[in-house]
Chain A
Amino acid sequence: MTKQEDLDELEFNDIQAGLFPQFPIEGRRAALNSDEFIFRKAKIYKLNGNNNTKDDRIKVQVLPELAGIKEEEKEFLPEYPPFFAGTFHPGDEGEYTWVICTPDLQQGYVIGPSNIFPIDDKYVKGSSYNYTAIKNFLKQRQACPTDFEYEDIVIDKCVMTDKGGVCEGYNRKTGDWFLLNSTGAVITVQQQKIYLRVGSPPNPISSGPTGFSAITMTPNFVKFKTPNFQVEADTVTLGHHGRALFAGGGMDFGTQGQPFIPADGVYI
């Protein structure tokens, strides 16, 4: 009697699972009732908050689990809130974001925009953070700290689109912090200096129009540079003598003997 003849009972699972072995997807298949979170890339389908609601969830197509979903079913894609309370990292529809979720996708969170894994130099050279450009940007605006070494600069965000861009970072050794905008606007907080600037041209040394404003602050010096300077205040105090500033009455006081008229609100 052969072994098969002993098989009086057929195992249901043998028939169910072993009959037609398909793709080796066991490792990808959702574990039944699992509470573990898995880390996935997802394609943004819709931002719920676009409808003037307070809903900060993002409707995402988790990959590879939900690859190949029909268009009419995409309305029912999972909706995940931001991973950290008080944060929100949206993206355009179709862009990729990181999510963590349960294997059955019932619960998950959006972490933030995902980077592309560069498989060739073309991508790396084209769109990643450019240290030299940032350094030149700051130098041109006389805002570059003396200590600005590549290995010390931490970039928190660096985004560039056809509508503009921003770069925020800090020096992990000195604590110098900077925020750059592609329009030329800059804020830096350095150990001995705070520099704020808005407007173009980028290079103030050039002979071009002086269409920018900047404030440079050091411990013993504040410099305003701007085409127009206007103060709107009830009182302006320029010194610490507590005396009023006098202005002329509009006539030649040497011949007419007119007295000075105090300039209201301006003290020296």
Chain B
Amino acid sequence: MQKFKLYPVINGTTDFKSLSSFIKKTVIYNSLENGLPFGYMDIIDPESRTLTQFENLQIGSQLDLKVAYDEGSVGSNVEKLNIEDWVLLRTQAINDSPGKDSTLRIIFGHKMFLYKDQTNHCFEAQSNDKIIKRVLEDKTRGCDFKLVHADIPDNEPIKRYKVLESDWEFLKNKVVAFSSYKKTPMYLYADLNSNFYFNSIATMFSKNPQIVLYYSPGDEEESEAYKEFTNVYATTEADIPMSFKMDIGNKNAVSEMNKQFIIFDNQTGMTFSGIKGPSSKIENDNTALSKYYPIDYAFAALTSSGSSISTLSNHNLNDAYNLLNNSLKDFDKMFTLNIKTRFSAALLDVGNCIALFFSKGHWANGKWILLSNKIVLDEGGNAQIDLVLGRPTFSGSKSKTTLTNYGSLFHR
């Protein structure tokens, strides 16, 4: 089993490598929902010498994470773990009881955490992906970010206003919330290398898996079976211990399966009411809207609302549709699989596909999306990874899915 440690280099000069034996625990966490990766590191601080020694331990200091390992003890993947250009977000002393070595916890994360500029802005009418690109690549902030890939959202060009909020809050609240791609929710998230993506789960699911996780491959025939996945650059070790926990459904997913809505069209004065399923629609209906939504009934200029109904008025009609579509995010995560296993040191970024291989014919074989990952390195250099994999219910169909025998899970 390979052992390694991560140590911080602060402002490119202050190197913690010599103290890596004092690093007790390192955690790196990222999730699709939060969108910004962060982590923390606990360093044993004998007689507070570490703290006084390093003057660069300040909020906003640049922080790189480097890998420390003994030659020959690890695979080639470990080198990819170097994370650059994060920032130090907080330092705190924990367990500082007298007579004992105190522990210093440093919390670090993506640079975007630091930028709380609340300057107001008006953005001209344009597609949501262009607004996101413009905000992320804005150099006046002092640092710009790269939007590597963006799906082109369904929305019509519309003016948006950044009001008393940071860039990140603006993007999440005013832009991403109104974004859907082919009527499926969209996510804005950064990978561990600080690059941003603005994708829908449908797009993520269409990509080739980046990694294969396989479990007790058994005979030769089965071990050949996982090779069908292309572009795989890392695999787990064979026959490693994994623990699984399967979740189907969460508190919001059930209500989202049949989400009631009322949309008030300000231009025509019409009110549309219906039930929006993940991809449900009524066939052979001559109401134009029913091409997109199952309209139960439409009536003029009257509204009613209930606690469980989404009432979407005072918004551009097109925006209201996209908001409704985007609000089905919990449905994406209804079907999840938690995996805890040893970490092979490949960088696993949220939004990527992972191929699972259990045994030949197993229902869970196939592609999954990485919804969140947590890397935990302990004192001895043992690495464990905690993955949450999701399989969106709308992706695929009964005839085109790995869940062949579980077609009823698909809402079509």
**CA of A8 to CA of B264 in the docked complex: distance in angstroms?**
45
**Binary interface profile of B, 70-98, with partner A (CB < 8 Å = 1, else 0)?**
00000000000000000001101011010
Q: State which of B117-125, B346-354, B359-367 sits at the interface with chain A.
A: B117-125
Q: Tell me which residues from 20 to 40 in chain B have a Cβ below 8 Å from any Cβ of chain A.
A: 27, 29, 31, 34, 36, 38, 40
A10–B163 contact, CB under 8 A?
A: no
Interface of A is mostly: loop
B340 is an interface residue with CB less than 8 A from chain A: no
Instruction: Determine how close the nearest CB of chain B comes to the CB of A186; give it in whole angstroms.
Output: 42
Quick check: B159 and A76 within 8 Å, CB to CB? yes
Docked Cα-Cα span, A74 to B163, in Å, equals: 14
The interface residues of chain A lying within 8 Å CB-to-CB of B120 are: 65-69
Contact between chains at A29 and B122 (CB < 8 Å):
no
From B36, B90, B161, give the contact of A105 (CB < 8 A): B161
* B113 near A30: Cβ-Cβ < 8 Å: no
Give per-residue flags for B252-293: 1 if the beta carbon is below 8 A from chain A beta carbons, else 0: 000000000000001000000000000000000000000000
Contacting residues of chain A (12-26) with chain B, CB-CB under 8 angstroms: 12, 15-16, 19-20, 22-23, 25
Known: A65-B120, A104-B163, A107-B266. A19 touches B95 (CB 8 A): no
The interface size of chain A toward B, counting residues with CB under 8 Å, comes to 40
Chain A residue nearest to B174 (CB atoms) is A104
Contact B165 A29 (CB under 8 A): yes
Other-chain contact of B122, A33, A37, A76 (Cβ < 8 Å) = A76
Choice from A19, A67, A70, A104 contacting B89 with Cβ under 8 Å:
A19
Contact yes or no, A32 B161, CB < 8 A: no
- The answer for the CA separation of A66 and B165 in the assembled complex, in Å, is 12
Contact of A55 with B by CB under 8 A: no
Minimum CB–CB distance from B250 to chain A (whole Å) comes to 17
Per a CB cutoff under 8 Å, which of B113, B119, B163, B311 touches A16? B113
User: Residues of B within 8 Å of A, CB-based: how many?
Assistant: 49
Interface check B164, CB cutoff 8 A: yes
In the docked arrangement, what's the CA distance between A106 and B314, Å? 8
Q: Are B163 and A15 in contact (CB under 8 A)?
A: no
CB-CB under 8 A from B266, the residues of chain A are 107
Asked if A251 CB lies within 8 Å of chain B CBs, one says no
Contact partner of B95 among A2, A67, A74, CB < 8 A? Answer: A2
Interface membership of A234, Cβ < 8 A: no
**Which residues on the B side are within 8 Å of A103 (C-beta)?**
163
* A2 CB contact (under 8 Å) in B89, B90, B94, B159: B94
Task: Select one of B40, B95, B165, B314 contacting A30, CB under 8 A.
Answer: B165
A28 at the interface (CB under 8 A from B): yes
CB <8 Å contact, B125 and A76: yes
Q: Which residue of chain A lies nearest to B29 when distances are taken between CB atoms in the complex?
A: A10
Docked pose: A2 CA to B401 CA in angstroms: 49
Given contacts A16-B168, A73-B122, 8 further A-B contacts (CB under 8 A): A2-B94, A19-B90, A30-B174, A33-B315, A65-B164, A75-B124, A78-B161, A104-B163
A-B contact pairs, 26 of them (CB 8 A): A1-B95, A8-B27, A12-B38, A15-B90, A15-B109, A15-B113, A16-B34, A16-B36, A16-B168, A19-B89, A19-B113, A25-B118, A30-B165, A30-B173, A32-B173, A33-B312, A37-B314, A65-B163, A69-B120, A78-B161, A104-B160, A105-B161, A105-B163, A106-B315, A107-B266, A107-B314
B interface residue numbers (CB < 8 A to A): 27, 29, 31, 34, 36, 38, 40, 59, 89-90, 92, 94-95, 97, 103, 105, 107, 109, 113-114, 116, 118-125, 158-161, 163-165, 168, 173-174, 177, 266, 311-316, 319, 323
